[in-house]
Structure 1
Amino acid sequence: MDFSVRTIRADEWERAREIRLAALQDPVAPIAFLETHEGASAQPDSFWQGRTEGASESGDGRVRQFVAETPDGRWVGTVSVLVERPSDEVRFGEPAKVDQTHVVGVFVRPEARGAGVIDALFRAAVEWSWTLPEPEIQRVRLYVHEDNARAAAFYQRFGFVATGDTVAMPGDTSAVEVEYEFPRPVARD
């Protein structure tokens, strides 16, 4: 499959909404996302415009959304990255102990799975994390539901390792999300 990875643009809010709604209809959505299709569908255009603006290159730099796009312009995958500093309010999981980024909103359309899309999206997300200005990012983290074996297998293959930390799944305290991290490579002299 031929595709390229890029950051979304602020004016692409309708496309960002469409791929998010598609993700929320995936069979694993209930364990992969903290948002429902019904809730997201009910959001006004202004919500999507603000969300897309914030995750674009023209946003404030605290969130970045990447998409995999085919030559005909179809978005076949997406991932978002949140910047988390120790002084920030906690969005999900444990408070940041170091400067880090947090990968969320991972989705590849079924017809694009197995074509390298997820690898390219994660390379873009991790590389972007390492380019952020001081204080430098020490790790990239993410959470995966304990029953989402497909996602966990990819994260491990990519190089993420389980930290041993877990958090209760919002809305279902009998289930947990497992934290994985990708530490910043050590500079070699």
Structure 2
Amino acid sequence: MDYLIRPVRAEEWLKVKELRLMALEDPAAPVAYLETRAQAAARPDSFWQDRAKGASHGGDARQFVAENKNGEWTGTVVVLVEPAGTESVLGAASSVTQAHLVGVYVRPEFRGTGLTEQLFRSAIEWAWSLDAPKLERVRLFVHEANGRASGFYRKFGFAPSGVTVPAPGSSGGREVEMVLGRP
């Protein structure tokens, strides 16, 4: 199936919110995301407007969405740029300038179609295209109990870095950092 992969637009904040709420209903959400559906739904519209605006342009963050031929949003990934020394929301600082992939979600009916690979390719191509700051690697964190996601990340080329951090919230367990070096 063909998908259009593109950055979100600031005015699409409501669709950004709807897709995030859908992701937080997924059975894997407790080990895949750092917030609950109730927490996300309680956020004011201004939060979602700022989120979409901030991820639509510039060099600090970019949210990519996939649209099918009917214009439905079928998946998303967010790229955050982290200068060296920046501490992630999980508390794991890095000594290198990097991109951090977060908020990965593909609607269940579109999984296994190659969509996640297309989203990742677009996100990583954007990260490598940045002139300043020049990124040394791309990282992400995956809960040790999220085997489906971990398997995809390995297949895509990510490898565990050896860094693990306690998983926040009530899910327990550990988050494993996986990295992809600059080609």
Q: TM-score range by the shorter chain?
A: over 0.9
> Does structure 1 residue 56 correspond to structure 2 residue 34?
no
Residue ranges of structure 1 left out of the alignment (5+ in a row): none
State the partner residue of 1:24. Answer: 24
Q: Tell me the SS of whatever aligns to 1:135.
A: coil
Shift of 1:165: 0.7
**Paired residue for 1:126, among 124, 127, 146?**
124
Q: Tell me the SS of whatever aligns to 2:173.
A: strand
Shift of 1:111: 0.5
Moved more, 170-179 or 157-166: 170-179
**RMSD of the TM alignment (CA)?**
1.3
State the partner residue of 1:7. Answer: 7
User: Which residue identity lines up with residue 35 of structure 1 in the other structure?
Assistant: E
State the partner residue of 1:69. Answer: 67
Q: Tell me the SS of whatever aligns to 2:99.
A: strand
Shift of 1:86: 1.4
Q: TM-score, normalised by structure 2?
A: 0.96
- Kindly tell me: are residues 72 and 173 of structure 1, through their superposed partners in 2, closer, same or farther at Cα, counting changes over 3 Å? closer
Moved more, 166-175 or 62-71: 166-175
State the partner residue of 2:146. Answer: 148
Q: 5 Å matches for 1:34-183?
A: 34-57=34-57, 60-172=58-170, 174-183=172-181
- Kindly tell me: are residues 174 and 13 of structure 1, through their superposed partners in 2, closer, same or farther at Cα, counting changes over 3 Å? closer
TM-superposition CA deviations, 1:59-88 (whole Å, max 9, x none): x42110000101211000000010000143
Distance in 2 (alpha carbons) for counterparts of 1:93 and 1:183: 21
Shift of 1:174: 4.3
User: Which residue identity lines up with residue 92 of structure 2 in the other structure?
Assistant: E
Shift of 1:93: 3.7
Residue ranges of structure 2 left out of the alignment (5+ in a row): none
Distance in 1 (alpha carbons) for counterparts of 2:108 and 2:19: 12
Distance in 2 (alpha carbons) for counterparts of 1:24 and 1:172: 15
- Kindly tell me: are residues 32 and 173 of structure 1, through their superposed partners in 2, closer, same or farther at Cα, counting changes over 3 Å? closer
User: Which residue identity lines up with residue 25 of structure 1 in the other structure?
Assistant: E
Shift of 1:173: 8.1
Shift of 1:94: 1.4
Q: TM-score, normalised by structure 1?
A: 0.93
* Identity level (%): 53
Shift of 1:89: 4.8
User: Which residue identity lines up with residue 130 of structure 2 in the other structure?
Assistant: L
Shift of 1:133: 1.6
